[in-house]
Amino acid sequence: MNHGQTQPATVKERSHIALNNEFLRKAVKFTTERLRNGKKKASEEHGNWEEWRERGKQIRLHTIAHLDYYLNQFVENARANGVHVHFAADGKEAVELSMKIAASKQAKSVVKSKSMVSEELHINHALEEMGIEAVETDLGEYIIQLAGETPSHIIIPAIHKNRYQIAELLSKEAGETLPADTSILAGFVRRKLREKFLEAEIGMTGCNFAIAETGSMVLFENEGNARMVSTVPKTQITLMGMERIIPTFADLEVMATLLPRSATGQKLTVYMSAITGPKRTVDGDGPEEMHIIIVDNGRSLQLGDPEFQELLNCIRCGACLNACPVYRHIGGHAYGGTYSGPIGAVLTPALQSNVAEWDDIANASSLCGACYEACPVKIPLHDMLVYLRNRKVEKGYGQTAEKIGMKGFAAIMSNSKRMRSVVKLGQIGQKLVVRQGLIKTKIGPLKGWNSVRYLPSLPNESFRERWDSLVQEVKNENSPMSEDIRTRMEQALKQRENGGRSHG
């Protein structure tokens, strides 16, 4: 997805492009498989994964339920540490605040470490318009920036590119042909970025967690670039989604257990930095001035909404993307927003107040629940996708043909006799299209289904038609019930009366 290019309006059209890109599909499959296998191994080795997942969920639920309290605590402590804290209601405000700081420093260059919030704000674009160079220093982000694209994965921005495509991009930048060797390519980028770190007046970071009790911000990373960004330039700006808060360092321990394992299968990322204010006289390094911009940009729409509030629990680990069978085939750009995969399919619409603007994004899921199973804080994304579809219908944005179809569905399914007649009609009507017991025609609604499949024909007798004779036949086969089975069934009934089983 190039910045300048206009992309097709629907997930359907965008996924058509992705599905025809063999490079992309191969690259995405390769890396998501590696990541999800890593996560599987790490969570198995951990031993008590489900228990910790539940703890993680509880911490996030509690924090978000008391977000105003913990945000206040965080802000007070951060200010006491000498940090300038700002609030931005939307993306525009966040960009303006950053611009103002950049202008006051007469900055010509900003180095950035990975931040999905900054992608949400399109801040690079804004900086460049001001004549300020913005340089991404995370390897993946750097590649994407060179390609003029946006990230297609929350933690692996260039997941859709293979080694050779990356070598080609970097060769252009280097002015010489670089071999497709990961360590040589990384070496080139490292040298290149070192100059940029030294030049930049401002370092811009994201924020994985913000700790209320101390006013600290915490970064997880593997390349050391976020450390450079937060120590070399004189001024640091941290962009932080307002939901990034956790109450205490003790909670960080749980998050630090869940996040890297879920993201990449690492026990811990190579670097984990907690930054509590600007450089003090006793410190060897660090920024002289530090700003934290707390960004809302649609997040408070989810606060108090029982169906979507849990979205604020997300710790942006990307595990749901890696587990998703749809993402596996279409990659991230097809989702059309800053966030992709199952979390993106829900978050992108949920960050906007206007339901009418939601496109078919919520339909791009088979509701298989792999995202929920993968999520370290148990966000029920598969349920939320259904809630989104429901909101759209309730607000009157359903498609006319579908509306009529569903009315028909209700009419048939609310009455078993009607259902029986419809099946009967089908049994007769299908004679026109059935060949060797199969329906192969590609016309009408069967076009999509039958483009890679055949449909079985309806047998002459449905189950309900078969029933009366079946009962007679089975009567003779019936064995007497054993004492053991009878007791078990009675026990199950008793247990239920005592409220034992309410769920599967």
Partner 1 sequence: MKVSLFITCLSDAIYPRVGEAMVRLLARYGVQVEFPKQQTCCGQPAFNSGYWDEARESARTLLAAFDDSDFVISPSGSCTGMIQHYYPKLFEKDPVMLEKSKRLQAKTYEFTQFLVQVLGVTDVGAVFPHKVTYHPSCHGSRLLGIKDEPMTLMQNVKGMELIPLPFAEDCCGFGGTFAVKMSEISAAMVSEKAQHVLETEAEVLVGLDMGCMMNISGNLMYQGKPVRVMHLAELLYEGVKLA
β-bridge partners, 168: none
Taking CB under 8 A as the binding criterion, the range among 87-95, 150-158, 338-346, 454-462 that sits at the site for partner 1 is 454-462
- Pick one of ligand SF4, partner 1, none as the site partner of residue 318 (Cβ within 5 to 8 A by kind): ligand SF4
Q: Which of residues 220-239 bind partner 1 (CB under 8 A)?
A: none
Q: CB nearer to partner 1: give 125 or 488.
A: 488
Question: Cβ–Cβ contacts within 10 Å for residue 268, how many?
Answer: 12
Q: Report helix, strand or coil for 134.
A: strand
Binding of residue 377 to ligand SF4 (CB under 6 A): yes
Is there a contact between 418 and 411 (Cβ–Cβ < 8 Å)?
yes
Q: Which of residues 359-398 bind partner 1 (CB under 8 A)?
A: 360, 363-370, 372-373, 383, 386, 388-394, 398
Binding of residue 416 to partner 1 (CB under 8 A): yes
Q: CB nearer to ligand SF4: give 24 or 317.
A: 317
Which residue in the set 12, 108, 190, 192 belongs to the binding site for partner 1 (CB under 8 A)? Answer: 12
Residue type, 399: Q
- Pick one of partner 1, ligand SF4, none as the site partner of residue 464 (Cβ within 5 to 8 A by kind): partner 1
Question: Cβ–Cβ contacts within 10 Å for residue 449, how many?
Answer: 12
Tokens of 229: 């960004």
User: Which residues, other chains included, contact 366 with Cβ-Cβ below 8 Å and sequence gap of 6+?
Assistant: 325, 326
Q: CB nearer to ligand SF4: give 319 or 361.
A: 319
Nearest distance from residue 491's CB to partner 1, in Å?
9
> What is the 3-state composition of the chain as percent helix, strand, coil, each rounded to the nearest 5?
55, 10, 35
Tokens of 147: 């390609």
User: Which residues, other chains included, contact 306 with Cβ-Cβ below 8 Å and sequence gap of 6+?
Assistant: none
Nearest distance from residue 56's CB to ligand SF4, in Å?
9
Distance (Å, rounded) from C-alpha 497 to C-alpha 16?
A: 52
Kind and range of the H or E run holding 372: helix 370-374
Contact characters 301-340, ligand SF4, x per CB under 6 A: -------------xxxxxxx--------------------
- Pick one of partner 1, ligand SF4, none as the site partner of residue 315 (Cβ within 5 to 8 A by kind): ligand SF4
Give the total of residues touching ligand SF4 (CB under 6 A): 15
β 235-241/202-205 pair status: parallel
Binding of residue 472 to partner 1 (CB under 8 A): no
